[in-house]
Structure 1
Amino acid sequence: MRKLATADDGWSELHYDDVTGRYFEKTYPESDQHGGGQPRFDEVSETFARQKYQF
Structure 2
Amino acid sequence: MAKKNQNQTTAGTNVQHVKQQNAQANQGQYGTEYAAETDVQHVKQQNAQANKNKNQNS
Fold equivalence (TM over 0.5): no
TM-score norm. by structure 2 comes to 0.16
Is the strand fraction higher in 1 or 2?
A: 1
Q: Which has the larger radius of gyration?
A: 2
Q: Per residue, is there more helix in 1 or in 2? A: 2
Question: With CA pairs under 8 Å and 6+ residues apart, which has the higher RCO, 1 or 2?
Answer: 1
